[in-house]
Structure 1
Amino acid sequence: MSDGFKDGYEFYVRTAGAQLAALTESARIEAIDREIEKLYREIAELGTNKTVETLSGDIAEFYHADTFNIDAILNDSSNRAYVPRINTFASPDVVLDTGEAFQIKYYADGAKSARAQAVSLEEASRNPHTSSGAIKTLASDGATGSDPIYDGMGRLIPDGQLDEADVFLDQKIVKESVVRPDEVRRYSETKEKLTSTVSDRDGISSKGLSREESKQLARESKEGSLDLANHGISADQLMEAKHIAKASLKAGLSAAAIAALLQAAPSIIESIQELAQEGSIDLGRLQEDGADTVAAGGSAFVTGALTAALTDMAQSGKLGESLVGLPSAVIASATVIAFNALKNGIRMAHGDMDQRSYADAILNDTFIASCALASGMLGQAACPIPALGYMLGSFVGSAVGGLTYQAGKQAFISFSVEHGATFFGLVDQDYELPDPVLSEIGLDVFEYDRFAFEQPALDGFAPSYAEIEMSEGPKPAITLPRRGVIAVGKVGYVL
């Protein structure tokens, strides 16, 4: 694996989880915004010809359905609510895809709202507007006149009316238990099902809506001045700290798993090849690779969690309107670069990295991130599958960026070697002759801390013997020092 490709791959390992976290959270914010736009559109489609009283009740149906859906998005739930808008007898106003149904009554006070929710089949049969449906229901097997017409449904009334409604229902239960025991069930069942929000068994819930606020929404709609943000309906207001924390933890765990898998992939492939060729695996190497995998997963957890939180806060508007349109990929890349810069800065402070190596690492990350970002955008445009196209494009861009940076770096250093350029201090031109060069030109070289006096020794005697000397002509040996790279960002003399 070439150094350039290795750098690109290692950068992708560090950023893949963060990029996926950013894309996921960006998609979640977009889904919330779509639900808010949907609520705007549905309210507008109700028209302005209705009275405020009638319009407020219709608005409440869509309000509860859409805010339920927003809460489901915020809590990663697949459950959804919809408004059927059918006028058959005792039809529900809001239905969940889990099968739960809700009837909505928005009356002047809690007692009136509770009374409307507890209407019996007998009472409905005496009402000209509902008599036909009630009579048909009574004709079916098992139905009695005391049964509530909304039997089994959730009974939703305005926020703030529950206490008054409970008092009314309790009074009716006590009274009817003495006078007409058969009527007790409909009041008891209504009280049991009474609620001020649409909710499911998983705890997903709509936003409460008071009667006065529903009327205010109706008035603003009729006047054409409706702004849901003034009523607490915006991504910024609906996304709470608990939602961000939950998403960050999930994103961090996913990022760690992705980084660990990508980090281990080359080692696994190499081990398979080694096993096939030699029949054994180097366990020592596997142990070292395992430590690298754990380290990569730990770093990815931090960057993934931070990226998810920053994406949520920036694109929801919690960090100001100017950052709402900031691309999620930019947030992810900036987070990873900043985290790596911080990590390398700590190493430099401890003396494990010099300043030029630190600067080179930042430039390397920034250049590869730019290539990955551009290639990811192209990949997403070419592949319509959400996230997949960007992740594939980002991988290609990271590899190309690593190779390009290394090639550019070599050209940059070569120019510095040939022309002595420093590029405003980015390259250190060292003109001190190294020890081998000094020795080559005949100068004695020694180090003070290693200097030692010669030890005296007795001369030994040996008889002389004849030796025929062979004469050879002189062989000139000339070694010229040249300029070359002696450290990261440093040019000096080499032999």
Structure 2
Amino acid sequence: MSVFNDTFRTAMGAAASAHGTHVSAVYTQDVNSAIDAAFEAIRAEAHRVQNVDIKFAKGNIAEAYHAGTFNVSAVAKGQTGVSAEMMINNKTGQDIRYGQLGVDERVAELKYYITGEKTAKALNNPGYSSGDKVVPADQLDEVHQVASRESLRNMETRPEVAETYAHTAENASDRLEYGDVSSKPLSNQEAIDLTKDLKSEDAVNPEDHGLIINEFVEWSDIAREAGQAALHAAAFSAALTAAPYLAKAIVNGIKKGEIDLVTLSEGAAAVATSTPQVALRASIAAAIVSASKAGYCGEAMKGMSPHAVGMATAMVINSIGYSMKYAKGEMPGNEVALNCIKDSIALASGLLGASLGNSIIPIPVMGALIGNMIGSTIGAMAFQGVHSVTLGICVESGWTMFGLVDQDYQVPEDVLQQCGFDLIKVDRINVQRFEPGRLQVQHIDVQTTGMVFLRRGVVGMSAVGYV
């Protein structure tokens, strides 16, 4: 049972890193899927206005662009209930509706004219003042200046016109915004270029127009996802760690008729010591995967396998722990090496198990997590079995297995005591003066001598000696 407990703890450590990588992989995949959906919506709108002149069609493309990038931002920010959609209804001031649709939604009017002054004047419609106003990013300052100027100029003679311009000066923006979710600003020239590309026969690369994951995922989003992965992994670990103690406490409670506080306290201590490390593993792995997939670590790292990241993270954290114990004298060097070998085998098995788990259990994260734990446990137990056989060979042959097995030829103290030797531990020797008196010789009775045959065997962690 102790072998299983040890291997299960190894599997738990691997599962924590795997959980973090799977959560981040799903997150980045969701963002990429939202980008693909946004681009398809923009392409569909371009097809709808294929026969419209570019100077007019660019406004429709801008609407699709703002709605699409707003939806991508919502996914990147983890706001599942927030979205935007174009309103093909020709109602005044209602080009796009966005926010929590049907619950707390807003409407916006978009104008993309050739200059900021023309855009500002095009927005001078009282029907647009019931919602937000979106203008080209390169015209935003000019729109504000023109609207403020026209508001002051018409204040005395045409107060209703002045009020409309004042609304534009206060509310015109280069993006849709709802909380921390926002669309991506688009200049007038960018709208023209995008429309031209979509109307041409050539293939269009979304990345050329800002539709790329690192334009939407920020370091704060990576930190948030890493924190959520850590929280989920910690909760999962706490549940698995506490379960055996709770079951034991219940069984003992039924037998004794009272709550087993000792077992419960042991379970609480185990949860307290294991949970922080599990959370650390998951958060580090999640942050690495999110940053890599978002392009913050370079183009080459975008294609890095999340499973490989989880394996590397677990190996590094385990190695740090073993090294600290070795530095404090709590673990010999050969045990450090053996534990690192065991971890690599367990993690590699977990990697294979995660792939099989995804195939057998097509539930996001869950299939890979279960497969990883089973694979890691089997791999660690297989290592224990092979290691036991290897130690048996070392006992018979004296082989040190490249220095990983300590061949200790000293007889252990417990064996010497079993043979009848009195072991003296001398802390301090007090020397006294010896004064010989009369020497008396007594009769010595010799009894039968007992014999104990020593054999070589395992006397410690990867240590062979006489037992």
Same fold per TM (> 0.5)?
yes
Structure 2: distance between partners of 1:168 and 1:479: 106
Q: Is the 8 A contact 2:253 2:260 kept in 1?
A: no
Of 203, 208, 214, which residue of structure 1 is paired with 2:191? 214
The secondary structure found in structure 2 opposite 1:95 is strand
Q: Are 1:227 and 2:205 counterparts?
A: yes
Shift of 1:29: 0.8
Task: Tell me the residue number matched to 2:66.
Answer: 64
- Distance change >3 Å, CA 435–CA 301, structure 1 → 2: closer
Deviations 1:39-66 (A, max 9, x none): 3333444246554323432321222122
* 1:108-147 → structure 2 map (5 Å cutoff): 108-119=114-125
Match of 2:72, as an amino acid? I
Could you tell me how far apart the structure 2 residues matched to 1:299 and 1:433 are? 39
Check conservation: 1:59, 1:218, Cα contact below 8 A: yes
- Aligned to 1:99, what secondary structure does the other structure show? strand
Quick check: 1:14–1:259 contact (8 Å CA) kept in 2?
no
Q: Is contact 1:55-1:218 (8 Å) kept?
A: yes
Question: 2:86 touches 2:95 (CA, 8 Å); kept in 1?
Answer: yes
Of 21-30 and 225-234, deviating more is 225-234
Q: Does 1:361 align with 2:363?
A: no
- My pick for the range that moved more, 83-92 or 32-41, is 83-92
* 65-74 or 254-263, which deviates more: 254-263
Structure 2 counterpart of 1:391, from 361, 364, 369: 369
Aligned CA distance change for structure 1 residues 442 and 245 (closer, same or farther; 3 Å):
closer
Instruction: Give the aligned partner of residue 88 of structure 1.
Output: 90
What do residues 240-267 of structure 1 show as CA deviations (whole Å, max 9, x unaligned)?
2222223323333333333233222222
TM-score by length of 1: 0.81
Give 2:34's aligned amino acid. Answer: E
Identify if the C-alpha distance between structure 1 residues 374 and 452 changes in structure 2 by more than 3 Å, giving closer, same or farther: farther
Match of 2:457 in 1: 484
Residue 158 of structure 2 is aligned to residue 180 of structure 1: yes
TM-score by structure 2 length?
A: 0.85
Partner Cα separation in structure 1 for residue 329 and residue 414 of structure 2: 27
| Residue 39 (1) aligns with residue 38 (2) | yes
1:251 partnered with 2:229: yes
Is the aligned partner of 1:265 residue 2:243? yes
Q: Where does the alignment leave 5 or more consecutive residues of structure 1 unmatched?
A: 120-147, 462-468
| Structure 2 equivalent of residue 103 of structure 1 | 109
- In structure 2, the CA distance between the partners of 1:93 and 1:79, relative to structure 1 (3 Å rule), is farther
Mapped contact 2:38–2:71 kept (Cα < 8 A): no
- % identical aligned pairs: 27
Q: Which amino acid aligns with 1:489?
A: S
> Which aligned pairs between 1:184-199 and structure 2 lie closer than 5 A?
184-199=162-177
- Are the aligned partners of 1:65 and 1:83 in contact in 2 as well (CA < 8 Å)? yes
Q: Which amino acid aligns with 1:160?
A: D
Q: Deviations over 1:364-389 (max 9, x none)?
A: 22222222222222222122221122
Corresponding position of 1:30: 29
Supply the distance in 2 between the matched residues of 1:439 and 1:289 (Cα, whole angstroms): 38
Q: Which amino acid aligns with 2:344?
A: T
Deviation at 1:306, TM superposition (A): 0.9
Residue-pair matches, total: 454
Cα distance in 2 between the residues matched to 1:157 and 1:91 = 13
The answer to whether 1:159 aligns with 2:159 is no
Q: Unaligned stretches of 5+ in structure 2?
A: none
- TM-superposition CA deviations, 1:152-199 (whole Å, max 9, x none): 222111113223222322333334432233444433444444221011
Match of 1:240 among 205, 218, 223: 218
- Does the C-alpha gap of structure 1 residues 49 and 446 become closer, same or farther in structure 2, counting only changes over 3 Å? same
Give the superposition deviation at 1:456: 9.0
Structure (1 or 2) with the larger CA radius of gyration? 1
Q: Is 1:309 paired with 2:272?
A: no
